[in-house]
Amino acid sequence: MMADTSSILDTHAREELGIDPEEVGAPAYEAAIQSLISSSSPWGAIFPIFLSFLDG
């Protein structure tokens, strides 16, 4: 198990944090784009909430 680092991280996430890596939300690029748009927008925190409703 120690030779495969992705297996170690998956096991740690499941056992210690209670997170299933297969069921994690949005990809990193989508979160980065939403963060960039919301930080440059005068609407602030309202815009990401609106996008989450569109995402479904």
The pLDDT score that the predictor gives to residue 18 is 83
Give the domain range for residue 36: 5-55
Average pLDDT over residues 24-51: 74
pLDDT at 1 exceeding the cut of 60: no
Q: What string of DSSP letters covers the chain?
A: -TT-HHHHHHHHIIIII---GGG--S-HHHHHHHHHHHHHSTTTTHHHHHHHHHH-
The pLDDT score that the predictor gives to residue 25 is 67
Number of domains, the chain: 1
The pLDDT score that the predictor gives to residue 23 is 75
Average pLDDT over residues 8-34: 78
Mean pLDDT of the chain: 75
The pLDDT score that the predictor gives to residue 2 is 60
The pLDDT score that the predictor gives to residue 56 is 58
